Amino acid sequence: MKNRLARIIKPYNNRALMLAVDHGYFLGPTEKLETPRNVIAPLLKYCDSLMLTRGIQRTSVPTNTNVPMVLRVSGGTSIIGEDLSQENITVSIQDAINLNASALAMSIFVGSKYEYQTISNLGKLVNEAHQYGMPVLAVTAVGKDLGKDARYLSLACRIAAEQGAHIVKTYYCNDFEKVVQSCPVPIIVAGGKKIPEQDALQLTHNAISGGAVGVDMGRNIWQSEHPIAMIRAVRSIVHGNSNVEQAYDMYKQQSDKHAKKDTPDSKDSANHKSQEQKK
Ligand code: 5RP
């Protein structure tokens, strides 16, 4: 369990950069993630872990990667269906182990019609995963009619932790520190809808300053005009302690570089602390 968690939240600084590419599980071919293989490959070396579904892992991630997989195991609804909150567990623990998952991820919909189903599924998943030393990341998904305020998110995060989740993913909000303080397990912040790059970097910085271990970011990376530049800038905040200005400068510099030269700098590796410091 600890070994798997240490793959996701780096022990040397207690930080995590998770690249989220699981959106298709209810959104279908999400804009700019239509061909996941092309999106994932160039970004892999800059993230600490990848959040994805088994279908995307099997079809679109190089099998020889050493990037840890946070496997989404909940689903069953679609954006055009009746109620997004009616999720169930769709992947067996055996299949997750077969895919060499480092953690399982599922959504809970606190305050929704299917609150009971999703929260009790979380408890059951933790029961099962615990037997294999497998961490569970709970995603506090927000229903249409519920706000993303500290009161609601504190409730959702705390309930996830009480059910035994090892990491909780939630949204950044005003008074975010209160959400972190009342949740006894690490919190990772979702990026949310695409916003201007500088604002997404500010969100990352705010999340870290507010006590999150890192970000689980998707659209604000791969929907950016320059995904590699963006993930590197986000990484410089999460692991290099850059401020927003420094990170945005990095984004602009790297955008220019990648606009001129399509392939990433092959010397660049984001997986080692000393290399982080140089950056
Ligand atoms: C979808 C998810 C995503 O992984 C999560 O929202 C992070 O992605 P983004 O930064 O695009 O919001 O859980 O349900």
Instruction: Kindly state the percentage of the chain with pLDDT values over 70.
Output: 92
Whether ligand 1 lies within 6 angstroms of the CB of 200 is answered as no
Confidence check: pLDDT of 26 > 60: yes
Whether ligand 1 lies within 6 angstroms of the CB of 72 is answered as no
Atom of ligand 1 nearest to the CA of 72: 13
Mutate to test the pocket of ligand 1, among 19, 21, 23 (most ligand atoms within 8 A of CB): 23
Q: What's the distance, Cα to Cα, between the start and end of the chain in Å?
A: 31
Rg for the chain, CA atoms, rounded: 18
Confidence check: pLDDT of 278 > 50: no
Quick one: pLDDT at residue 257? 84
Q: Of 214, 267, 217, 266, which is closest to residue 239 (Cα–Cα)?
A: 214
Position 223 confidence tier, pLDDT thresholds 50, 70, 90: very high
The stretch 47-63 carries a mean pLDDT of: 97
Atom of ligand 1 nearest to the CA of 105: 13
The 10s digit of each residue's pLDDT in 85-136 is: 999 999 999 999 999 999 999 999 999 999 999 999 999 999 999 999 999 9
Residue nearest to atom 5 of ligand 1 (CA): 190
Quick one: pLDDT at residue 265? 46
The 10s digit of each residue's pLDDT in 251-274 is: 999 998 877 765 444 444 444 444
Position 145 confidence tier, pLDDT thresholds 50, 70, 90: low
Whether ligand 1 lies within 6 angstroms of the CB of 219 is answered as yes
Of the two residues 262 and 11, the one the predictor is more confident about is 11
The stretch 164-186 carries a mean pLDDT of: 98
Confidence check: pLDDT of 142 > 80: no
Strand extents, DSSP E, the chain: 16-20, 49-52, 69-72, 74-75, 88-89, 103-108, 136-140, 167-170, 187-190, 214-217
Whether ligand 1 lies within 6 angstroms of the CB of 142 is answered as no
What are 279's two structure tokens?
């950056």
Quick one: pLDDT at residue 277? 45
The stretch 234-245 carries a mean pLDDT of: 98
The stretch 231-251 carries a mean pLDDT of: 98
Lowest mean pLDDT across 57-66, 141-150, 170-179: 141-150
Tell if the pTM clears 0.95, that is, is over it.
Answer: no
Burial class (CB in 10 A: 0-12, 13-18, 19+), 88: middle
Whether ligand 1 lies within 6 angstroms of the CB of 216 is answered as yes
Position 62 confidence tier, pLDDT thresholds 50, 70, 90: very high
Cβ of 146: how many Cβ atoms within 10 Å?
16
Confidence check: pLDDT of 44 > 90: yes
User: DSSP letters along 170-207, please?
Assistant: E---TTHHHHHHT-SS-EEEE--S---HHHHHHHHHHH
7, 68 contact by CB (below 8 A): yes
